[in-house]
Structure 1
């Protein structure tokens, strides 16, 4: 870990002492964001997790461009290079501001390099009559509690994530994530981005030998915002060939399914991840 992470640890500890909940980043007086230890990736030292980056991008876009009456229906995140435990900046731009649709972008920048780029698409909500739609049948019982990420293997029952989940069963995950920025409680939209990034690649690519793929993107599509703190992610599809995989998953809460997520990923055999646990 470098000195910037040491500083962020000190800042996070100070935030905790005054009652601020754990978060992936702490905003500094100059507008930059310092990552906390909670933002660290589990697969490499000095690297930030995708869920931390997703949370920062979603939080930034929503705070700057979110509007009453508009639903953030899609967030697309491209993870362009590994984000490190250093000072992080955001840069945004409004692409379209229409009556029915709004689009904006956010770059996540470290040392003058764009490490990730996110796009949010918002639709104006309306009460209107539509024909009875076709719907996917889905029946999942969520765990009673999930302080940490819980996983279910094709109906075997929920338990904290660990090596027991190295099998070929279809996976479901249940998680709440952390706040993206200290002092800014995660909104339903931010929580959707955080949980989808934390779990979509996990449930679609986790097999008997761990996770052999690393995702380079995330797409989250929402028909409504989630209700409650915890969000479930159920794997729907997984296809792979020649070192490339694509996986899709359904997002659900206690009231049922409300959206979907998709990740594309590259084979990563030299650094295959074992899921021994995640906070």
Structure 2
């Protein structure tokens, strides 16, 4: 069973694997982030026959989405020959739950000057297996295979993969598959017991220097709580070849 069943060109039904960690009657937004990447890439392929790659994904989480049929839209906000800004939405009925703006760029050869300013992490086989359902509810976290090392409170290194496809027999890109795992970061390096403190994220921004490859997505994640109810989850993301970019999530911190 996949995360989503396609019902039409822009309409999908979530499966049990999409149920959320804070409330299993609503969707975990993780799979939706990957689905929106897939929609953007499908729209791009229908409009252009020259290559474009996503360099930034800026998601705004506008409200919870029930475990029910959802609709998506894609719109080009800023067309261009070498750079585009595209917006996509994800919602239920009249309500938009997620909005993302993606910058797309025309790729060019920069291998001779390429360099990485981000630190690597140990490979998956060098970390112990960890079961996220010991801490979190919901089908999404249960679908994840995690290898994790806790460095300190609110600081972890880990790898995540899943055998659950995003869309059944429909192929998706490595980036769409990886983006469906980006939001897991806020639950892998917890600073406080989630039964006593709620700290959901209200956004997610990913900056990429290349597209992730392969089934594993690696993270080095640090969580910070400020004194006034604000928080931040910051991650460097990896594939097996090394760092590929960063993910940041703004938190609303709410002690019980």
* TM-score above 0.5: yes
Q: Does 1:152 align with 2:149?
A: yes
* Equivalent residue, structure 2, for 1:10: none
Question: Within 5 Å, which residues of 2 pair with 1:53-72?
Answer: 53-65=32-44, 68-72=50-54
Q: CA deviation at 1:140?
A: 2.1
* Equivalent residue, structure 2, for 1:209: 193
Contact 1:65–1:104 under 8 Å retained in 2: no
* Equivalent residue, structure 2, for 1:231: 217
Q: CA deviation at 1:73?
A: 0.8
Q: Does 1:266 align with 2:249?
A: no
Identify which of 160, 163, 184 aligns with 1:175: 160
Q: Does 1:50 align with 2:50?
A: no
* Equivalent residue, structure 2, for 1:192: 178
Provide Cα deviations, 1:144-164, integer angstroms capped at 9, x if missing partner: 79771232112xxxxxxxxxx
1: CA distance between counterparts of 2:3 and 2:205? 20
Provide Cα deviations, 1:123-180, integer angstroms capped at 9, x if missing partner: 11111477675723334222379771232112xxxxxxxxxxxx61621231124433
Q: CA deviation at 1:38?
A: 0.6
* Equivalent residue, structure 2, for 1:138: 120
Question: Within 5 Å, which residues of 2 pair with 1:80-159?
Answer: 80-128=62-110, 135-143=117-125, 148-154=145-151
Quick one: structure 1 residues 237 and 131, their matched pair in 2 at CA, closer, same or farther if it must change by over 3 Å? farther
Q: CA deviation at 1:212?
A: 3.6
The size of the alignment, in residue pairs, is: 235
| Ranges in structure 2 where 5+ consecutive residues have no aligned partner | 130-143
Contact 2:10–2:73 under 8 Å retained in 1: no
Q: CA deviation at 1:85?
A: 0.8
2: CA distance between counterparts of 1:261 and 1:37? 26
Contact 2:60–2:100 under 8 Å retained in 1: yes
Q: CA deviation at 1:188?
A: 1.2
Q: CA deviation at 1:182?
A: 2.6
Q: CA deviation at 1:31?
A: 4.5
Which runs of structure 1 show a deviation greater than 6 angstroms over 4 or more consecutive aligned residues? 144-147
2: CA distance between counterparts of 1:62 and 1:31? 13
Provide Cα deviations, 1:55-80, integer angstroms capped at 9, x if missing partner: 22111111112565322111111110
1: CA distance between counterparts of 2:192 and 2:67? 31
Q: CA deviation at 1:96?
A: 1.9
Contact 2:54–2:104 under 8 Å retained in 1: yes
* Equivalent residue, structure 1, for 2:4: 25
Quick one: structure 1 residues 129 and 58, their matched pair in 2 at CA, closer, same or farther if it must change by over 3 Å? closer
2: CA distance between counterparts of 1:134 and 1:195? 23
2: CA distance between counterparts of 1:174 and 1:28? 32
2: CA distance between counterparts of 1:129 and 1:45? 45
1: CA distance between counterparts of 2:41 and 2:255? 36
| Ranges in structure 1 where 5+ consecutive residues have no aligned partner | 1-21, 155-166, 271-279
| Secondary structure in 2 matching 1:105 | strand
Structure with more contact order per residue of length (Cα contacts < 8 Å, sep ≥ 6): 2
